[in-house]
């Protein structure tokens, strides 16, 4: 029987007469309503998404759940409670949608369920910790969630007692024995670790499924991707670290545990010394698909799609694919997997046959992520985005000639933007190799005039720039200021094959520098670039490249250095350092000269270019002292510089008010040294 849907809907029709399009501004990034990953009803008629909106004056975000008709006809707001209603998951029987939210007297976010027909949500849990990463059991009677707890607090009473004692401690000293004791902007020294809880939907009773096993999820960014439960609820598979000291020799493995039975968890990936992650059970529960890397200490190593059936050895499905895969999802037929693949500047959903590894993909001028499937019909819903389009939900199935746009939250906003042309070009870079680059033109670009150039250098260094909408470094916002923007996917970038990604290992600066310089040659050869008005900007590794450029060339009139590494000697204060020996070729004490040769600090005598330095206090990946060192060096040398310090931000500037200050300072600096807009 079809379930009725609330009548309070947004009917989608033609917009009223609109004002002429205008260039994007930083404020637009906070006006976008941010659509989260979809969860599809079993019958395929609806998808549910979380939609995040920002209140800029209050520096606060909130989110609501919306139902999207998969024929694109309607949007229905399902929740209305203030705050965040997050991470929706549709139950297999179609009767409920689970999510997390904080309401009334809740100590923190709790698990709620709501009928897709609307009405009041029912709180399921009363946990002293905050659950997230929800998944349903196959019979729709149990929910699973990730939550942080202490190994010695087996129940809520013990947790609350210890939590109270910790908060009442007068001494704030921390004694550290672990190699990894903080991560991005989170301290890991309180002893809590993430585990998986089972939650009875009817009673709210919750059980730590890893209690007594000595296992926990990796304490970094735990999510629903770090575990899965067999459809019959009999077995749990988790990602845990098999190493005695993950901070020295990390080795993520898959462990399976029979639920409700005595016995030790079984490591099923002992054959691989590198990372095995993202387990997902097949619909019949007989197989587990997962991702595998084979090169230790290399975060950009190609992620391979593996399948393990029964007790047989894992089998690789993507041996012929020289690209990295992510987010494996079984199709309901159990014969295929959907995976996200970075490929030459785009993220594309590939469909892989489990039997023979054959792949099917439809390539478009956009990127795709977060697909989910209906159970009873052949239909998938996913998020599509590009440089010009914020994440937008689309549905596609065999009965549709083309994918159907089913979310329309940002249609009018996007139509109000006057966007410049985006072009993909290739030039000869380091070692005379083909190197790709994105070029963003100002909205009113006239090739008969001369324009300033900004080379935007990405981070990582292995995080290639795909055609996806960015809420931080958005090239269209920069181009709207009147700059031509170049974004080079230099040697080391992901999405262009394993050899290309690994080509800078042991020498972080040489080839990327050559690529950026040769890209600048490409621009200078164009009659529409003003050679006297060129600047460069970058964050993280891109910030490192700003200091590196400063020591090797005075070609640019100005630099923007955000969260940049200045010295690889003092970068030993970073949160994660084990992989640095492979990335740089050695640890400092094993080859001091080699590390010195890759540190921008070594070339400080050459610094001449005016530089804006920006850094956050809570940045544990590139500690804030890196920015202070660089700024102090420039100041002592008499090089024009300015420091923008964010005491409440981490590696990224995530708060609206801070982000607006960030953009204001960045654009003021560029305008001061290269101006904006064309000259005749």
**Mean per-residue pLDDT, 389-401:** 92
Burial state string for 95-125 with b = 16 or more CB within 10 A and e = fewer than 16? ebbbbbbbeeebeebbbbbbbbebeebeebb
Is position 637 within any domain?
Answer: yes
Q: Which two tokens stand for residue 637?
A: 């040398």
Q: How many domains does the chain have?
A: 1
Is position 364 within any domain?
Answer: no
Count CA atoms within 13 Å of residue 225 on its CB side.
Answer: 13
Instruction: Give the length of the chain.
Output: 680
**Mean per-residue pLDDT, 97-102:** 97
Is position 156 within any domain?
Answer: no
pLDDT tens, position by position, 528-573:
999 999 999 999 999 999 999 999 999 999 999 999 999 999 999 9
Looking at residue 16, what is its pLDDT? 52
Q: In sequence order, what are the residues at sequence separation of 6 or more whose Cβ sits closer than 8 angstroms to the Cβ of residue 328? A: 278, 280, 289, 290, 291, 305, 337, 338, 339
Is position 469 within any domain?
Answer: yes
Looking at residue 12, what is its pLDDT? 52
pLDDT tens, position by position, 467-497:
999 999 999 999 999 999 999 999 999 999 9
Check: CB of residue 199 under 8 Å from CB of residue 233. no
pLDDT tens, position by position, 400-454:
889 999 999 999 999 999 999 999 999 999 999 999 999 999 999 999 999 999 9
* Range among 100-104, 259-263, 381-385 with highest mean pLDDT value: 381-385
**pLDDT surpasses 90 at 89:** yes
**pLDDT surpasses 80 at 117:** yes
Query: Per DSSP, what are the bridge partners of residue 353?
Result: 336
**Mean per-residue pLDDT, 135-147:** 98
**pLDDT surpasses 90 at 276:** yes
CATH number (domain holding residue 494): 3.40.50.1820
The strand order across the sheet containing 227-229 reads: 227-229, 235-241, 252-258, 266-267
pLDDT-derived band at 2 (thresholds 50, 70, 90) equals: very low
Is position 598 within any domain?
Answer: yes
Is position 389 within any domain?
Answer: no
Instruction: Report residue 414: phi and psi, to 5°.
Output: -65, -40
**Mean per-residue pLDDT, 39-58:** 98
**pLDDT surpasses 90 at 292:** yes
pLDDT-derived band at 19 (thresholds 50, 70, 90) equals: confident
What residue spans of 486-555 are helical by DSSP H? 498-501, 510-524, 541-552
pLDDT above 70 as % of the chain: 97
- Among 377, 451, 426, residue whose Cα is nearest residue 679: 451
Check: CB of residue 549 under 8 Å from CB of residue 609. yes
Domain of residue 613 covers 418-674
Distance between alpha carbon 94 and the CA centroid of its chain, in Å?
29
Angle at 609 between CA 605 and CA 612, to 5 degrees: 115
Check: CB of residue 371 under 8 Å from CB of residue 391. no
> What's the pTM?
0.95
Looking at residue 611, what is its pLDDT? 98
pLDDT-derived band at 625 (thresholds 50, 70, 90) equals: very high
Is position 600 within any domain?
Answer: yes
Looking at residue 421, what is its pLDDT? 98
Check: CB of residue 33 under 8 Å from CB of residue 412. no
**pLDDT surpasses 90 at 371:** yes
pLDDT-derived band at 5 (thresholds 50, 70, 90) equals: low
pLDDT-derived band at 1 (thresholds 50, 70, 90) equals: very low
**pLDDT surpasses 70 at 3:** no
Q: What is the residue whose two structure tokens read 């619909």?
A: 283
Instruction: Report residue 412: phi and psi, to 5°.
Output: -65, -40
Check: CB of residue 114 under 8 Å from CB of residue 122. yes
Looking at residue 18, what is its pLDDT? 64
Is position 493 within any domain?
Answer: yes
pLDDT tens, position by position, 501-513:
999 999 999 999 9
How many other CB atoms are found less than 10 A from the CB of residue 243? 15
- Among 414, 372, 327, 350, residue whose Cα is nearest residue 49: 372
Instruction: Report residue 226: phi and psi, to 5°.
Output: -95, 5
**Mean per-residue pLDDT, 363-385:** 96
pLDDT-derived band at 7 (thresholds 50, 70, 90) equals: very low
């Amino acid at each position: 029987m079809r379930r009725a849907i609330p009548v309070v809907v947004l009917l989608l029709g033609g917009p009223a007469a609109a004002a002429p399009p205008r260039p994007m501004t930083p404020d637009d990034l906070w006006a976008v309503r941010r659509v989260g990953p979809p969860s599809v009803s079993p019958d395929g008629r609806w998808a549910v998404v979380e939609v995040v909106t920002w209140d800029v004056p209050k520096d606060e975000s909130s989110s609501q759940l919306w139902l999207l008709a998969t024929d694109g006809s309607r949007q229905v707001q399902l929740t209305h409670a203030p705050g965040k209603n997050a991470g929706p998951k549709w139950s297999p029987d179609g009767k409920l949608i689970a999510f997390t939210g904080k309401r009334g007297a809740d100590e923190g976010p709790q698990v709620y369920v709501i009928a897709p027909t609307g009405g009041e949500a029912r709180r399921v849990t009363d946990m002293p910790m905050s659950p997230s990463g929800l998944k349903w059991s196959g019979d729709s009677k149990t929910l699973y969630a990730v939550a942080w707890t202490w190994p010695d607090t087996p129940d809520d009473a013990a947790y609350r007692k210890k939590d109270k004692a910790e908060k009442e401690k007068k001494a704030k000293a921390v004694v550290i024995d672990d190699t990894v004791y903080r991560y991005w902007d989170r301290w890991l020294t309180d002893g809590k670790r993430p585990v998986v809880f089972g939650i009875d939907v009817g009673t709210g009773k919750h059980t730590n499924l890893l209690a007594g096993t000595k296992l926990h999820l990796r304490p970094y960014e735990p999510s629903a991707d770090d575990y899965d439960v067999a459809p019959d609820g009999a077995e749990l598979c988790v990602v845990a670290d098999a190493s005695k000291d993950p901070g020295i020799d990390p080795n993520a493995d898959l462990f399976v545990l029979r639920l409700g039975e005595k016995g030790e968890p079984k490591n099923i990936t002992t054959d691989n010394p590198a990372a095995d992650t993202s387990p997902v059970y097949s619909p019949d529960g007989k197989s587990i698909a997962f991702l595998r890397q084979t090169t230790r200490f290399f975060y950009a190593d190609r992620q391979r799609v593996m399948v393990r059936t029964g007790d047989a050895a894992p089998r690789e499905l993507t041996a012929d694919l020289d690209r990295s895969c992510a987010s494996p999802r079984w199709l309901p037929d159990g014969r295929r997997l959907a995976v996200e693949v970075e490929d030459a500047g785009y993220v594309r959903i590939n469909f892989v046959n489990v039997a023979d590894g054959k792949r099917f993909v439809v390539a478009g001028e956009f990127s795709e992520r977060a697909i989910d499937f209906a159970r009873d019909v052949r239909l998938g819903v996913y998020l599509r985005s590009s440089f010009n389009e914020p994440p937008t939900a689309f549905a596609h199935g065999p009965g549709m000639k083309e994918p159907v746009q089913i979310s329309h939250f940002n249609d009018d906003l996007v139509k109000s933007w006057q966007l410049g042309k985006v072009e993909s070009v290739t030039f000869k870079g380091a070692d005379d190799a083909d190197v790709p680059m994105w070029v963003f033109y100002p909205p009113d670009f006239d090739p008969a005039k001369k324009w300033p150039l900004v080379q935007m250098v990405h981070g990582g260094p292995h995080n290639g720039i795909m055609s996806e909408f960015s809420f931080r470094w958005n090239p269209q916002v920069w181009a709207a200021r009147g700059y031509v923007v170049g974004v080079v996917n230099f040697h080391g970038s992901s999405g262009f094959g394993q050899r290309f990604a690994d080509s800078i290992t042991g020498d972080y600066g040489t080839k990327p520098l050559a690529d950026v310089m040769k890209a600048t040659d490409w621009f200078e050869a164009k009659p529409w670039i003003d050679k006297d008005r060129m600047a460069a900007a970058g964050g993280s590794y891109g910030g490192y490249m700003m200091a590196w450029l400063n020591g090797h060339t005075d070609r640019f009139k100005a630099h923007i250095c955000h969260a940049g590494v200045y010295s690889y000697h003092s970068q030993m204060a970073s949160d994660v350092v084990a992989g640095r020996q492979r990335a740089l070729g050695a640890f400092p004490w094993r080859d001091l000269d080699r590390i010195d040769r890759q540190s921008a600090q070594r070339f400080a005598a050459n610094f001449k270019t005016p530089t804006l330095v920006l850094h956050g206090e809570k940045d544990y990946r590139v500690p804030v002292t890196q920015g202070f060192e660089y700024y102090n060096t420039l100041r002592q040398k008499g090089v024009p510089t300015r420091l923008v310090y964010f005491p409440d931000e981490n590696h990224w500037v995530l708060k609206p008010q801070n982000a607006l200050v960030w953009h204001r300072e960045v654009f003021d600096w560029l305008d001061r040294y290269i101006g904006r807009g064309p000259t005749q």
